[in-house]
Structure 1
Amino acid sequence: MMKMNNRSQWKVFTPIAIAVCLMTACSEGDDGKEGPPGTISISIEKADTLQATIDKVTIDAQTQVQVDFFLSNANGIAVTGLESLKELDTLSLGIAKLAPPQDHYKATQTTVGLATGSLSVTGTTDAALQWTSYINNQVEPAINSQANAKTQFQAGIESNCKTTCLISLGEGLYRYTFSKPLTGYPQFAGLDTQYTPELTHRIYLELKPLATSLANTQLINSVYDFVPTTGQTVAADMGRNVIAPEQACFRCHSDNLANTDTRLLMHDGKRFAYEGCVVCHTTYSGDPETGNSLDMATLTHQIHQAKYQVVGYKGQLYDYSNVTFPGDMSQCQQCHIPGAAAQSDNYNIPSKTACLDCHTQQIPANWNGTVAGLFHDREIFANAWSMSCSGCHPDSNNPQGVGLFHNAAVNTASKLASDYQVKLLNSQLSVETQTLEVTLQVLQLDQLPATQAMIKSFWLIATGENHRTDMPVNNGQRKVWDLLATTADVALKITGPNQITVTITNLSTADFGDLSQSQLYSKLVLCADKNTGFTVNCNVANQDVSLSAVNTLTLQGQAVTAKTKVNESACRQCHDQGLEDRVLSAHQMKGIFEPNSSCGTCHAPQTSTALTDRQCQSCHTNDAVMYLNANVMHASGASQIKPYRTINNTLSYREMVHSLHAGTRTVVGFGNPRPELTYPNAKNNCSTCHSAGQLDLAELSTQQSLLVAAPGATNIGQVAEYSPTLATCTACHAQLDSLVVHARSFGGVYQSDASGGRIYQSGQESCATCHAEGRSSGVDKVHQ
């Protein structure tokens, strides 16, 4: 009888699997006769998938550790023969205890002198518990190390014993006995590895049968948390799970271990489980060649800040200085999501490594190298010190600790978005008088915005058809009105509680084309004090909060019903709520689009409201390079296209976004090189940004073709033409020759010399017939 181990293995059998078992393993006698009892199992050589469940861990009086685990395939069928597998690639186990951190600052009593006098404070907050491995080494720097090289401790796991330490208990059950008792591993002065059975312990199991085993189906990283004194697994609140990778890491990174380009698979392709990583990446572990910490928090924080180096596997230097992180590192909650893991809030509890990972800009020249020497500086950290010790160390006065400051900007933005919500109530357009009247609701605002010292800017934006084939001169289908300025064409009045009516005159309605395709947006920028969460006079503010209207209307007042092509939430997963700041920075190179500058007066990019609501496309049209790249103000047309504005450096929104994320974009612009972007997900994984139903390619072929600089162009006006679907594909598929041959067979157009004008006719492409979502060769299939 198969050992069930309370896992209900039969429940995961498929009907086919049951049928196979009944026809094979369960029937070993002659035909028509009952055979001897059979065992349902599969050999390790034939198992295409593997999973392991640690059943029990025992540690005897001599601190000898035994780990019992059940090995099965994905259907729960026992896998046998591991103990005798020839050329076993990897079988490694580690063990660690959850204990006070090693080499961390921990204050139990402090006397501090404040500006107002002296105060004795007894702190009761211990630093958050961390993992300490029982298996450690002391490692010396190799030859040709860096200047900061020094001897380091390194936590590790046992990886050499393999089948020598393994026995089979039958029916997929195995027992691994560590090669030494816990007291038999090297002990080092200054490193507490005393066996403490009443503490939470973790077993890490790593298994890869063969060097050729597939990471996504046959690589195992398993952890098991338990308390040796009871032998029982621990409750979540007794462990240390500070992030949920599904909600943190995999918001930007791919969780697909089959993709060799994007998977988070380390150490020669053997380790991917975050809760296994921390068994070795402990607070006290360091890299001897660089002197850098190997603590999981440190390397994660500093890699995302592009300031980390480590000499890793086989002595190779890993340099992360080119990493580009699209979020705000000061927003802890971007990865430490409240409630996502049992100890998500542990980031509020200070530790030496975590604090120094980011606070390097504030280090004074006379710093003594200690955490206290930096963070007890009352001038540098004045806001925290105003709360005495609780400004950093959580207590009843401030349970958030440092989180009060780390999350201040996010919390303030969320609060003000609710307090000052902006909504477009109605819009009335008169074609006869060329007048537009728009009523907006702004909560807590009953006075004209120009009289309010906490309002930095207030915009009303109107856009026409995004992909018109007869775009008006100077992109006139996009209008921006500054509601704080005094102009002859804009009038504001209070028309009700929290209501403002804006009247626009001298409007050219013809510029907007089909008015049912037009859109109205609004954006309010408030000045705030992030330490209090309230709006303040802009002269003393330390934070700007951008509030976009919660809805959009057409110029005629209808709710906008345009089909969504991409998910805003998907963009925000990587590009957090501080994205506006980086968009503004990108548009202000050389000061060209500074507010109130010659260009910024009309084209102020701070009016952008979202990445996917079509406002960006109102400037970044198929014709964008013919307007925004003019070397003479407001000169337009193909003759003005600059030679570096090729298909992979176009400003057409769709192709721009695709080429940025695909890594095919050239980076020359405004005469200055820009850094390459590092996109951590699979370039061909459309589902990262597009939900089901958004890739039907509807109306794509009816849009205008792109005129951009020809490949290899050296002079202004050397232009090429790409039909719209071809242009979309070319943003990623840089091998143009083969793609063009295929596209031309189905109505696509590519002119390497389009100086004679466009030849593409609307609707000419038939690409969607095969490549629309759900079709035989749909992008959802070929890009899986």
Structure 2
Amino acid sequence: MMKRFNFNTATKAMLGAGLLSLLLAGCGGSDGKDGEDGKPGPVGLDISQATTLKATLEDVKIDNGTVSVDIVLTNANGVPVTGLEQYAQINAIGLGIAKLTPENGKGYKTPQWVSYINSVKAADPARKLANYSYTDGKDSAGNPITKEVKFTPGDAIQANIESSCKTTCLTVVDSGVYRYTFQTNLSSLTAIEGLDLTYDPTLVHRITLELQTDGSKDAKLVNSHIDFLPSDNFREAKAEETRTVVDLEANCIKCHSTNYSDTSSTAKPLALHGGRRIAIANCQVCHTSYSKDPETGSSIDLGAMAHAIHKGTYIMVGYSGTAYDFSGTMAKAAAENGYPQYNKVKDVSERVTLPVSIGNCQSCHSTDDKGPVDAASFKHHKGLACASCHMSGFNPVDNSEWLTQPEGQKDRGFVGNYFHYYATPEIDGIPGADLVNVYQNGGCTSCHAADGEEGSAKYHLAKANVTKSVRDEYAYKLGNGTFDVSGNKLTFTVQWHSDVAPKDDKAVKELWLVAAALDGEYKIGYKSSTFGSHPGRFSVNLVKEYPAITMVQDGKTLTYTISGITQPDMIALK
């Protein structure tokens, strides 16, 4: 339904009638007849006066290839915002449209977004990056290890959005309601080899909006989208019918922030492309599985790119010509051998590290009730996403042998050939992975899993699942401690999970106790041979520190005593 913003008609009629009677009385008479109610006037706040913006999309229409959608614009309090169609301080109005296409192949494959707006970009000679080398540690003989970084530039398809039309494509429908008609006609798209751009009304579609005014990166920056099914009267799609594998609030904001004006934090706020794109749904429309960076050959598929960035192995050249190096190796090469293309002012070269293992999928892919409906889709492999870790640093130039399959085998392309025939533990990007062995022993379902099955996730999640299981099994409770000033001894209890004490359980390698002065001022003199002491605290491994530690066991209750502590005053146990 179209949203409308009008004052109550009856209220306005009463106010109008009362004012009319006063005027007639002032004229000295009345004809005894009430006039007709006037039409309600427009209600809203001019965009030049608005300090916040919110936008929703509705009422999509596709007729003979012409696409239109209504933008409902309000401030944070729901008051309609007017005047967008003629506002001069608009930084950006960009809209995209894509379809969610099923994927063919063995096993279940998650559907992928295909944008209707695309272009083929050639590598710009002025922006291409030269190959370079840098040193990374030393080998067993103490010699520096030299690593090579090589790029594969070339023509690349890139998905895009409309951003040049701005207010020209807008018409006013109602107070705060604007209809945007796309310049792109779905019936007259330029054909691109290898890309099916046929309009299929039976597929779920997505329209995205980015709107920014007055240069604001927070209050007046809007990203919005609508997923809909054209064949069912353009109804809005249900969550389970569309695809959003990660959620901004449930996943990304664990580390990043939504304070888009603050770029000083270690984990940068997710405001990209000039600080205008902040919603994952909008990102998906352009960062499609077929999109690449022409200058480096790097994939800009959202999954592959996010994996490589967070692993610290990703380099690309942005629209502005800025080189984004998330491995930090360009700056290192510049310092070591004067890499000529590195520009300290223009290039972003920063080593990305994570507080968790890149192999712990659930750090970002929440499968609890806080994540999106199809969060578990990450369990179904996609070649690009797998290659972003397993094939890090490999390319068709240096590893051209993978372009050809072994004799008598099926040609699966560069990535497919690698995973099926060449990915041995010695060369794979993930130490210890033996993918060739899995394939040769008929373990196809390890990657090509049916819908609802674990697939390769049973390997990727093994450590996380075992960790959780061990934490549950080895749960314990620490009791209060007492300190004997005369004997300089600390005594405390641990309620253990079994009758086998930690020092006698071969599975327990370390069990650390941390003792700290409550106000951090006091120096604790005990020194652990396995860790050490610091002003105000010390740590000790309860498994190894004998005979400095004594332990008395009564079933599952363990009473520990640590001697040799000096000047402790008040301490707290953790």
User: Which TM class, normalised by the smaller chain length?
Assistant: 0.7 to 0.9
Q: Does 1:458 align with 2:531?
A: no
Q: Is the 8 A contact 2:204 2:242 kept in 1?
A: yes
Per the alignment, residue 752 of structure 1 pairs with none
SS in 2 for 1:300: helix
Per the alignment, residue 704 of structure 1 pairs with none
Q: Structure 1 residues 165, 489: closer, same or farther in 2, change over 3 A?
A: closer
SS in 2 for 1:313: coil
Q: Is the 8 A contact 1:66 1:176 kept in 2?
A: yes
- The one-letter code matched in structure 2 to 1:79 is V
Per the alignment, residue 371 of structure 1 pairs with 415
Q: Is the 8 A contact 2:552 2:560 kept in 1?
A: yes
Q: Is the 8 A contact 1:80 1:170 kept in 2?
A: no
Higher relative contact order (CA 8 A, sep 6+): 2
Name the CA distance, whole Å, in 1 between partners of 2:113 and 2:155.
21
Equivalent in 115, 118, 124 of residue 136 of structure 1: 118
- The one-letter code matched in structure 2 to 1:507 is G
- The one-letter code matched in structure 1 to 2:56 is T
Per the alignment, residue 43 of structure 1 pairs with 46
Q: Does 1:511 align with 2:558?
A: no
Q: Does 1:442 align with 2:496?
A: yes
Cα deviations across residues 312-344 of structure 1 (Å, max 9, x unaligned)?
A: 122222222223333221111111111311211
SS in 2 for 1:376: helix
- The one-letter code matched in structure 2 to 1:257 is Y
Name the CA distance, whole Å, in 2 between partners of 1:77 and 1:483.
63
Q: Does 1:468 align with 2:512?
A: no
Equivalent in 346, 356, 368 of residue 327 of structure 1: 356
Name the CA distance, whole Å, in 2 between partners of 1:190 and 1:326.
39
- The one-letter code matched in structure 2 to 1:373 is N
Q: Is the 8 A contact 2:96 2:162 kept in 1?
A: yes
Q: Is the 8 A contact 1:28 1:35 kept in 2?
A: no
How many angstroms does 1:242 deviate by?
1.1
Q: Structure 1 residues 149, 488: closer, same or farther in 2, change over 3 A?
A: closer
Name the CA distance, whole Å, in 1 between partners of 2:18 and 2:434.
79
How many angstroms does 1:443 deviate by?
1.1
Q: Is the 8 A contact 2:85 2:171 kept in 1?
A: yes
Per the alignment, residue 418 of structure 1 pairs with 472
Q: Is the 8 A contact 2:108 2:450 kept in 1?
A: no
SS in 2 for 1:83: helix
Q: Is the 8 A contact 1:132 1:279 kept in 2?
A: yes
How many angstroms does 1:214 deviate by?
1.7
Name the CA distance, whole Å, in 2 between partners of 1:73 and 1:427.
56
Name the CA distance, whole Å, in 2 between partners of 1:469 and 1:434.
15
Q: Does 1:149 align with 2:146?
A: no
Across the aligned residues of Structure 1 and Structure 2, the Cα RMSD in angstroms comes to 3.4
Per the alignment, residue 168 of structure 2 pairs with 164
Name the CA distance, whole Å, in 2 between partners of 1:361 and 1:83.
48
Q: Is the 8 A contact 1:27 1:35 kept in 2?
A: no
Name the CA distance, whole Å, in 2 between partners of 1:207 and 1:29.
42
Name the CA distance, whole Å, in 2 between partners of 1:75 and 1:43.
14
Cα deviations across residues 432-475 of structure 1 (Å, max 9, x unaligned)?
A: 4554443322213x234444322223344544455336765985
Per the alignment, residue 550 of structure 2 pairs with 491
Q: Does 1:390 align with 2:468?
A: no
Cα deviations across residues 252-280 of structure 1 (Å, max 9, x unaligned)?
A: 22202343555422222322111111111
Equivalent in 443, 459, 463 of residue 409 of structure 1: 463
Q: Structure 1 residues 466, 197: closer, same or farther in 2, change over 3 A?
A: same
SS in 1 for 2:445: helix
How many angstroms does 1:289 deviate by?
0.8
Q: Does 1:288 align with 2:268?
A: no
- The one-letter code matched in structure 2 to 1:127 is K
Q: Is the 8 A contact 2:157 2:291 kept in 1?
A: yes
- The one-letter code matched in structure 2 to 1:148 is T
Q: Is the 8 A contact 2:223 2:279 kept in 1?
A: yes
Per the alignment, residue 747 of structure 1 pairs with none
Per the alignment, residue 227 of structure 1 pairs with 229
Name the CA distance, whole Å, in 2 between partners of 1:221 and 1:26.
41
Aligned residue pair count: 476
How many angstroms does 1:189 deviate by?
1.7
Per the alignment, residue 70 of structure 2 pairs with 68
Name the CA distance, whole Å, in 2 between partners of 1:276 and 1:429.
59
TM-score, normalised to structure 1, is: 0.55
SS in 2 for 1:315: coil
- The one-letter code matched in structure 2 to 1:353 is L
* Greater share of residues in strand: 2
Q: Is the 8 A contact 2:260 2:275 kept in 1?
A: no
Per the alignment, residue 257 of structure 1 pairs with 260
Q: Is the 8 A contact 1:27 1:38 kept in 2?
A: no
Unaligned residue ranges in structure 1 (runs of 5+): 109-124, 521-551, 553-784
Q: Is the 8 A contact 1:420 1:443 kept in 2?
A: yes
SS in 1 for 2:187: helix
The percent identity for this pair of structures is 34
Q: Is the 8 A contact 1:79 1:171 kept in 2?
A: yes
Per the alignment, residue 311 of structure 1 pairs with 317
Equivalent in 85, 88, 104 of residue 87 of structure 2: 85
Per the alignment, residue 147 of structure 2 pairs with none
Name the CA distance, whole Å, in 2 between partners of 1:434 and 1:222.
64
SS in 2 for 1:215: coil
How many angstroms does 1:52 deviate by?
1.9
Q: Does 1:349 align with 2:380?
A: yes
Name the CA distance, whole Å, in 2 between partners of 1:503 and 1:162.
74
How many angstroms does 1:404 deviate by?
1.5
- The one-letter code matched in structure 2 to 1:349 is H
Q: Structure 1 residues 80, 459: closer, same or farther in 2, change over 3 A?
A: closer
- The one-letter code matched in structure 2 to 1:392 is C
Unaligned residue ranges in structure 2 (runs of 5+): 24-36, 130-150, 328-349, 404-412, 426-432, 528-532
Per the alignment, residue 273 of structure 2 pairs with 267
Name the CA distance, whole Å, in 1 between partners of 2:461 and 2:374.
17
Per the alignment, residue 560 of structure 2 pairs with 502
How many angstroms does 1:243 deviate by?
1.2
- The one-letter code matched in structure 2 to 1:166 is L
Cα deviations across residues 98-138 of structure 1 (Å, max 9, x unaligned)?
A: 0135xxxx532xxxxxxxxxxxxxxxx33111110011111
SS in 1 for 2:69: strand
Cα deviations across residues 533-556 of structure 1 (Å, max 9, x unaligned)?
A: xxxxxxxxxxxxxxxxxxx4xxxx
Q: Structure 1 residues 373, 495: closer, same or farther in 2, change over 3 A?
A: same
Q: Is the 8 A contact 1:29 1:36 kept in 2?
A: no
Name the CA distance, whole Å, in 2 between partners of 1:250 and 1:394.
30
SS in 2 for 1:143: coil
Per the alignment, residue 617 of structure 1 pairs with none
Q: Is the 8 A contact 1:72 1:172 kept in 2?
A: yes
Name the CA distance, whole Å, in 2 between partners of 1:86 and 1:31.
43
Cα deviations across residues 657-687 of structure 1 (Å, max 9, x unaligned)?
A: xxxxxxxxxxxxxxxxxxxxxxxxxxxxxxx
